[in-house]
Amino acid sequence: MTPGLTLVELAHASDTGRVRAHNEDRGVVAPPLLGVADGMGGARAGEVASGMAAGALEDVAGARLTPERLQAAVEQANRDIRQAAAADPSRAGMGTTVTAGLLQDGRLHLVHVGDSRAYLWRGGRLVRLTDDHSVVGEMVRRGTITAEQAERHPHRHVVTRALGADDRVEVDAADLDLDDGDVLLFCSDGLCGPVEDPQIAEVLAAAPDLGAAARGLVEAANAAGGPDNVTVVLARAGHGAPAPVPPPEPVPTHTRRMPTLPRPTVGPDAEPAPIPGRSGEPPAPRVLQQVDRARSRRVPIIIAAVAVVGIGAGALAWAASRTYFVDEGSGGTVHTFHGLPVGLGALHLYRQEQDTGVAADDVRVAEPGALGRTARGQGEATELAARLTWRFGVPAEWPRLRVAPPPPPPPPAPPPATTLPRVTPVPPTGTVPTPPSG
């Protein structure tokens, strides 16, 4: 911890991007409190949700703000967004991410919900400070997919946590000691979706100041297609007078006026085919609003479906980790298995473990019901297997042991006349051998 640190340089920028009709992101620049909120929900309800979250943070920002009060403000914003959504059907399902940090006594206190991010830029290295609360974020943490695969995953925008999604929200909280010169970056997924970390680092390394960095990051997101609203908030920690809150960095207007960049027409990022005669024009706002309304209905359904599937998969995995059973395994012998005795085709929830060597058919005849029996632990399964082995013998006596018979020996070949020594026939008794004529 470095006492006496303040935020000596600040910059922020936000842009609608090149596809969306409205900007539903909100930056929070209320030093020493900084953050972003990325709203979701149709009919501009996302703007309402992100505005409520950002407003809640700005309301508590001040000299007396503590990490506990910051977290309580996020939880209260969640309840307020739920109430506002319940009171107005056009705002049903609205929600928002929130990622914010409070600098206090040289330490950064983070609160985080959703897939916006906080980064630390220190000594030329970019370090991600938050975990994405998204379907692909969870998959990356479990090792199911790589970070590179996550960048192109069709469900990369499906969040698993958001303010407004449930009556209770789980808020990630983390503390970090800052050093003189550290730069903090808070951003919505409109930046870290289309722009990968190495490119963010390149922009930060090349920018002469944070204002240029903020503009460069927004321009990088738009150059990558600008598929989403993009918001960045940057701050440098140091010893000196706290920087005043600057106006937002100007974003080139031509970025929004330019036609939408061509995107793939197949695959997860596919766009509908252009309307004949209208190619090159930006999409009409009305169409985008319809898309947004569909999104507002889909998001809660997807979150609920993912939650149900996740809970179900978790329960199955928990049960499978604690269950053993004995049954016929490969080769027709009885094995112990770890997991649940269920499966569909090549998919199953068990792993074959010990081979008893006992023929499964013998057990079926002598002890019906013994196969498929579940055990309450590995010890009980091993005990069942040992009892079967003791009762039915060991593999050496097993008649079904499929050992290929040795090939039959070849018949003795008659000796070739040319190579073997000539054998003189033995004459019958009583005759005199005739000497060979000379």
Q: Which residues are near Mg ion by CB under 5 A?
A: 38, 188-190, 228
Find the shortest distance in angstroms from Cβ 269 to Mg ion: 15
Q: Which is nearer to Mg ion, 99 or 356 (CB)?
A: 99
- From residue 335, alpha-carbon distances to 176, 180, 351, 363, 371 in Å are 51, 62, 10, 12, 9
The answer to whether the CB of 153 falls within 8 A of the CB of 171 is no
Find the shortest distance in angstroms from Cβ 17 to Mg ion: 9
Q: How far apart are CA 186 and CA 31, in angstroms?
A: 13
Find the shortest distance in angstroms from Cβ 304 to Mg ion: 20
Find the shortest distance in angstroms from Cβ 81 to Mg ion: 16
Find the shortest distance in angstroms from Cβ 141 to Mg ion: 20
308-313 long-range contacts, CB within 8 A, separation 24+: 310/138, 310/160
Tokens for 303?
Answer: 């979150």
Find the shortest distance in angstroms from Cβ 349 to Mg ion: 36
Q: Which is nearer to Mg ion, 95 or 101 (CB)?
A: 95
Find the shortest distance in angstroms from Cβ 286 to Mg ion: 21
Q: Which is nearer to Mg ion, 41 or 357 (CB)?
A: 41
Q: How far apart are CA 340 and CA 356, in angstroms?
A: 19
Q: Which helix (H) or strand (E) holds 206?
A: helix 197-206
Q: Which is nearer to Mg ion, 188 or 323 (CB)?
A: 188
The answer to whether the CB of 207 falls within 8 A of the CB of 216 is yes
The answer to whether the CB of 338 falls within 8 A of the CB of 383 is no
Q: What's the N-to-C CA distance of the chain in angstroms?
A: 121
Beta bridge partners of 343: 348
Side-chain half-sphere CA neighbours of 12 within 13 A: 23
Q: Which is nearer to Mg ion, 114 or 238 (CB)?
A: 114
Q: Which is nearer to Mg ion, 56 or 192 (CB)?
A: 192
Tokens for 182?
Answer: 């550290």
Find the shortest distance in angstroms from Cβ 227 to Mg ion: 9
Q: Which is nearer to Mg ion, 128 or 364 (CB)?
A: 128
Q: How far apart are CA 42 and CA 349, in angstroms?
A: 40
Q: Which is nearer to Mg ion, 231 or 323 (CB)?
A: 231
Side-chain half-sphere CA neighbours of 370 within 13 A: 25
Beta strand 6-15 pairing with 95-96: unpaired
